[in-house]
Amino acid sequence: MSHLITYKNITISLSGKSILNIDQLDVAAHQCTLLTGRNGSGKTTLLKIISGLLKPNTANIHYQGLDMSWKQAKPYIQKDIIYLHQQPYLFDASVSDNIAYGLHRLGESKAVARQKVMHALQWADLSHLAHRSAKELSGGEKQRVALTRARILSPQLLLLDEPTASMDTDAKQQTGLLLQRLKSEGVSIIISSHETHTVKHIADHHLHIKDGQLETIEPSTDSDKVSVLKPSKKQSVT
């Protein structure tokens, strides 16, 4: 299995407290990884480092054949990796305008952007909401708009931080469906979640943060339980 990107020696301390100390994280290409850990274990912190939003104390990155420091890699990873917050921020504008926003920033012409937004809305089964104000949407609808807005920018890796928290069963199913679609289109995905059962069917791998380090969890035969495979420091998600 090929790796999309590898992070080595990730360390970060916040307010003088060591939060993460990870020897190696290999992100599998075109696959989905579930990331778990207790509240405060460092899931959000790790996702923000992976996406170039938070500067770690140390981290080396192997991406597209290059070995780089986190700082050198930052422009590449910010372009190719998108972090989605649990409560996505949408502008006070229509759903279509929210989805088009990133395209305008990339300098796409109005006509091309309109075409792409139309296709994206169809892809997400959101066409009926195109002209609604994004501020009026439910939490589940907002999450789907945010996913669509991310997809239109063609990310290599999508990071979802607790995407299904506080969603009802229908909204979870709809979000799950879009994630399956993204995966089948070749987008690599990491999902942080406390709701293991909701995303288990999409995930190919399961990593767990404990004491600042990553453990690989292998599904047990009992579908409701997981067992720790290898609590060593060096971890791969392939």
Cβ contacts of 104-107, under 8 Å, gap ≥ 24: 106/153
- Closest separation in Å from C-beta 196 to Mg ion: 15
Of the listed pieces 16-24, 44-52, 63-71, 96-104, which binds Mg ion according to CB under 5 A?
44-52
Rounded distance, CA 226 to CA 54, Å?
30
CB of 73 to Mg ion, least distance (A): 23
Which residues contact residue 83 at a Cβ distance below 8 angstroms, ignoring those fewer than 6 apart? 47, 48, 50, 51, 53, 159, 161
Provide DSSP, 45-107: HHHHHHTTSS--SEEEEEETTEEEEHHHHHHHHHHHEEEE-SS----SSBHHHHHHHHHHHTT
> Which range of residues in 34-42, 75-83, 129-137, 216-224 is near ligand ATP by CB under 6 A?
34-42
Antiparallel, parallel or unpaired: β 66-69 and 32-37: unpaired
Residues that contact Mg ion, how many (by CB under 5 A): 2
Task: Please select the residue that binds ligand ATP; options are 2, 39, 169, 184, rule is CB under 6 A.
Answer: 39
# chain residues binding ligand ATP, by CB under 6 A: 11
CB of 63 to ligand ATP, least distance (A): 23
- The residue among 124 and 159 lying less far from ligand ATP, judged by its C-beta, is 159
Q: Among candidates 19, 17, 27, 16, which has minimal Cα distance to 50? A: 27
The rounded distance, in Å, linking the Cα atoms of 64 and 72 is 13
φ, ψ (nearest 5 deg) of residue 193: -160, 145
Q: Per CB under 5 A, which region of 36-44, 50-58, 69-77, 218-226 contacts Mg ion?
A: 36-44
Residue nearer to ligand ATP on the CB measure, 108 or 195: 195
Residue 8, strand partner residues: 24, 60
Query: Which positions from 97 through 136 interact with ligand ATP, judged by CB under 6 A?
Result: none
Asked if 44 is part of the footprint of Mg ion (rule: CB under 5 A), the reply reads: yes
Name which of residues 13 to 32 contact ligand ATP (CB under 6 A): 14-15, 19
Is there binding between residue 41 and Mg ion (CB under 5 A)?
no
| 37: contact with ligand ATP by CB under 6 A | yes
Binding site for ligand ATP (CB under 6 A): 14-15, 19, 37, 39-45
